[in-house]
Amino acid sequence: MRIVTLEEHVSFPEMTALLPEEILKNRKQSGAALQMQEKLADITGERLTSMKAAGISMQVLSVENTDVYLLPDSLAPAFAAKYNDLLADKISSHSDAFAAFAMLPMTVPEAAADELERAVKTHGFCGAMIKGLINGVFLDAPKFAPVFACAEKLGVPLYIHPGIPPKEVIDAYYSNVGDTKGPNEAIACYGWGWHSETAIHILRLLAAGIFDKYPQLNIIIGHMGEMLPMMWERSNRVFQPGNNGKNQRTLIETFRKQLYITTSGIFTQPPLQIAIDTIGIDNILFSIDYPFSSNQMGIDFLTKAALPAEQLAKMAHGNADRILKF
């Protein structure tokens, strides 16, 4: 069976070396990312070998870091373009195994829209990945409208991935746990915090009317829906049209038409069943979160999924083929 995964990360040290010294001093990465630098930089070595061993047909690659957000507006667009060009070059000799999401200079939204269009039309990228808040600002801010408009026009999805929370949030919610001083990264990031923040991000887009303004826009989020399936019915009751937001449709109607989730990093059956019962099998795409999860972990989960063959095929590749136009 064809298997496509689409939350799979890369980070190239040759691009990090191009950052100004003052940026490098303030650059922050999660501890997990720091431990995975060698794997993140690799494409055709261990990554490809493990894909073949696990039976994975294609990975959609995306840049793991948020370096482009740290750069001044005068430098960010060129840096993003160079990163996308390098990624395109690295995957060009294995186009059957790899596709890519573009890195966008989101601090300069007009330039981000231009780079999205260039990456799609020039390199055949299948959308873009946006990492968390943009220097503390959620994507429902009006200034990001050009990016949504461009993605809708091109017919490509935007993948909203968690990012490290703002310092103010880390200080307030995730620091000084018990008698331990400083932030607790596991609570703030991959153990809880940035997942719930991504759910908040999607709810803000709903309440701000972004999905209604761009009715053909598709948004993807990972980690089995970033907690949204668990809150599905309650959130739907709260976010009714005319309550506290600008949304013209219910949460359920909106999300089933425009929101897609991946399985990245969540490899047990109960969350999958909740996702199927809420957002539905047509909106679920298989992903692994490589290298933070191994390809074999993901495949073991997929092969054990107690699903009819038709549903398994949709999750393994059919939905991705349809949304990403493979």
State yes or no: is 289 an active-site residue.
yes
134 phi and psi angles, rounded to 5 deg: -95, 95
Question: What DSSP letter does each residue of 159-203 carry, written as one string?
Answer: EEE--PPPHHHHHHHSBS-TT--SB-HHHHTTTTHHHHHHHHHHH
DSSP-derived 3-state class of residue 326: coil
Radius of gyration of the CA atoms of the chain, in A: 19
Cα–Cα nearest to 139, from 155, 254, 169, 131: 131
Cα–Cα nearest to 286, from 322, 313, 252: 313
Burial annotation 275-313 (CB, 10 A radius, 16+ → b, else e): bbebbebbbbbbbbbbbbbebeebbebbeebebeeebbb
Catalytic residue among 67, 114, 140, 289: 289
Cα–Cα nearest to 222, from 167, 158, 311: 158
CA 255-257-260 angle, to 5 degrees, is 60
Residue 73 is classified by DSSP as: T
- 8's enclosing H/E stretch is strand 4-10
Residue 216 is classified by DSSP as: T
CA distance 298 to 268: 10
Question: Are 28 and 70 in contact, with CB atoms under 8 Å apart?
Answer: no
Cα–Cα nearest to 151, from 206, 204, 106: 106
- List residues with catalytic annotation: 289
